[in-house]
Structure 1
Amino acid sequence: MRYKLGDFVRFVDEKLEGYITKIIDEQMIGVTVEDDFEIPVLASKVTYVHGHGAASHDEEAVTQTSAITTGEFKSKGVHIAVIADVKANALVHLYLVNETSFQLLASVVTDAQKTIKGEFVGMIEPQSAVKVYSAKLSDLQLWPKFIFQVLFHTRQNQPLELPLNVTEQFKAKDFAGAKKIVPILKQQGWLVQLDQPELIIDAEKLKESFFKPAEEKQVVQKPVAELDLHIEKLRDDHQFLGSSEMLNIQVNAFKHALDGAIVHQMPDITFIHGTGNGILKHELHKLLSKHPKVQTFMDARKEKFGYGATKVVLK
């Protein structure tokens, strides 16, 4: 099969063109045309569109480069960005985004039911991005497991950065939050950071907490089942607060209530965040998607809250 997901092709016998959004088998592919309708067709019945599909097919490499190596050396910032195609909304592209000052030697491998396949290998310059995979977001449950391996290189005198070896199985909750502008690409999308700093647990402090006298231990109150995070419900002086202060107060109230719900083994808790500009909702969903005690989360009863509340189901 010489075609792959994301290639732009034209039908040989019809005046149709679109993106390949499914590889059915060695002979058949699925092509999504302008109205987002996917048409199954023999691979022999389509051809690359000159100046469009063929160019992008040969350019798997760096999609946008701005080799910025001046200024402060940045050692963190390796992301996977998921961005919808500008012409075929059904199709999304996965990019490796390098916000660091390192050159990256990267390999992307997929594992689909024990079928291992190399998808990308190459050098990614500082402050640049590379497209590494394309698929239909509606087929998320069929997406393979991704293995990202990254080596860091620089000629500057910098501490050694250990290689990354990250396995990612994308789930619906990864796309539950609002999109944001992806660095370097300057397009709306979802971001997953591959080089998140590891959580360091201070063993001594943890041990001390176990042996604190009973009167020193913090009592965690059981939160209400539905917590309203509107700032006027949390602070009387909200009219004197800046937007960042308000957000911090709301996020802290959310964390405190979530901890309380976990301690008291509540099956679920609902957070009322409103619709607004979506910043608070996005922040909550980002924290929930990484929390080990969260089973899942979803929009709460729409007939009661509209889209202004999130129900969290705990493990």
Structure 2
Amino acid sequence: MKFKLGEFVRFIDENREGYITRIIDDQVVAVTGDDDFEIPVAVSNLARVHGHMANAVEADFGTGLEEEELSAAEFSTKGISIAFVQDLNKGSLVHFYLVNETSFELLVTLTTVRKDDYKGEFAAKLGPLSITKMHTASLPELDLWPKFLVDVLTFTSSNIKPLKPINLEYRFKAKDFSDNKKTIPFIKQQGWILQLDEPEVKIDVQKLKESFYNQPKSEENKVDKPQREIDLHIEKLRDDHQFLSKSEILNIQLAEFHSKLAAAIVHKFPDIVFIHGVGNGVLRDNIHKALGKHSQVRTFKDAQREKFGYGATEVIFKI
């Protein structure tokens, strides 16, 4: 039985249920219950709970409005984007939605690429002024996300010139989810928006020539230099932390970790310390998992225990 991220399932041999928050392989998935503990489970030991809505966003949007003949003044040609919305039940999951605020019908495909392996994930026709879900991914595993290929064609029977085909190749980074959230069109939820139909950049030839005579700024000057000790306790990062869920707190902490780790590499730090605390160990485990796969990290270890106890990790970079 094939399961998807975000599905609500029940254990067959014990009184336990939860949401699928990670696909480990074809035979094993990770399930997170109300206690926020993630447990690897064989798919053969799970049953899908039908009729359980994993996310309030999962309402039936349909395919949008039926296309009708519109005049050029009435016809909207702007507003094609991808929205990223955290699951209401498990904030570690992020749902990808294609948003169509135009009067065009859209033909859209989504393909993922891992090395040379291509996998078609989604294909559909989307009507004017509508939204549809395309994909779901685990935000803490952002470093493991594949490259995404999105292709969009516009169509209308009205006397309107179609837009140029949209061909997006994108690999997401932590900074893509560090900006403030915005209200997503058609649904009353906050999320991040990636605009697909941005206008083409017009090159100013004169300014381009002038730039050849200007000394370019180094990458170090573009990125703020971080402290050598980064405190990831949520009260140090957000004033409104008491209103955040556990999953939102974790995502904020991980975004800060990735941001400061990248800044330390840019400024050629020999090492840096991340203070994550002890707690239930989830933040520490996510940090260690990311560090273990990072090409610029030589090693990492517990920082000075006499100073930090067991709640900090020292990262040593390759020279």
Give the alignment's TM-score, normalised by structure 2.
0.62
What letter corresponds to residue 67 of structure 1 in structure 2?
A: L
What letter corresponds to residue 86 of structure 1 in structure 2?
A: L
Q: Is the 8 A contact 1:61 1:130 kept in 2?
A: no
- For the aligned residues, what is the CA RMSD? 3.5
Q: Is the 8 A contact 2:106 2:125 kept in 1?
A: yes
1:86 & 1:207 partners in 2: Cα distance? 47
What letter corresponds to residue 34 of structure 1 in structure 2?
A: D
Residues 1:129 and 2:131 are matched in the alignment: yes
1:120 & 1:266 partners in 2: Cα distance? 37
Match of 2:91 in 1: 89
What letter corresponds to residue 221 of structure 2 in structure 1?
A: D
Residues 1:67 and 2:70 are matched in the alignment: no
2:97 & 2:217 partners in 1: Cα distance? 41
Change (3 A) 1:29 1:209: closer
Secondary structure at the residue paired with 1:267? helix
Residues 1:197 and 2:199 are matched in the alignment: yes
1:15 & 1:266 partners in 2: Cα distance? 54
Unaligned ranges ≥5, structure 1: 211-216, 221-261, 278-295, 299-315
Q: Is the 8 A contact 2:105 2:154 kept in 1?
A: yes
Q: Is the 8 A contact 2:102 2:129 kept in 1?
A: yes
1:134-153 mapped onto 2 (5 Å cutoff): 134-153=136-155
Match of 1:8 in 2: 8
Number of residue pairs matched by the alignment: 226
Q: Is the 8 A contact 1:128 1:184 kept in 2?
A: yes
Q: Is the 8 A contact 2:27 2:42 kept in 1?
A: yes
Q: 1:9 offset after TM fit, Å?
A: 1.6
Change (3 A) 1:61 1:276: closer
Report Cα offsets for 1:24-47 as digits up to 9, x if no partner: 122111112223321111111111
Match of 1:256 in 2: none
1:268 & 1:208 partners in 2: Cα distance? 23
Q: Is the 8 A contact 1:62 1:128 kept in 2?
A: no
Match of 1:186 in 2: 188
Match of 1:268 among 200, 211, 221: 221
Secondary structure at the residue paired with 1:34? coil
Q: 1:113 offset after TM fit, Å?
A: 2.7
Residues 1:77 and 2:30 are matched in the alignment: no
Match of 1:226 in 2: none
Give % identity.
Answer: 45
1:177 & 1:207 partners in 2: Cα distance? 29
Q: 1:82 offset after TM fit, Å?
A: 1.0
Match of 1:229 in 2: none
1:267-306 mapped onto 2 (5 Å cutoff): 267-268=220-221
What letter corresponds to residue 267 of structure 1 in structure 2?
A: E
2:130 & 2:74 partners in 1: Cα distance? 17
Q: 1:65 offset after TM fit, Å?
A: 5.8
Residues 1:33 and 2:38 are matched in the alignment: no
Change (3 A) 1:172 1:19: same
Unaligned ranges ≥5, structure 2: 226-237, 241-261, 265-319
1:61 & 1:186 partners in 2: Cα distance? 12
Match of 2:276 in 1: none
Report Cα offsets for 1:155-196 as digits up to 9, x if no partner: 111112111110111100101111111111221101111121
Q: Is the 8 A contact 2:64 2:131 kept in 1?
A: no
1:179 & 1:39 partners in 2: Cα distance? 30
Match of 1:163 among 149, 162, 165: 165
Residues 1:175 and 2:177 are matched in the alignment: yes
Q: 1:267 offset after TM fit, Å?
A: 3.1
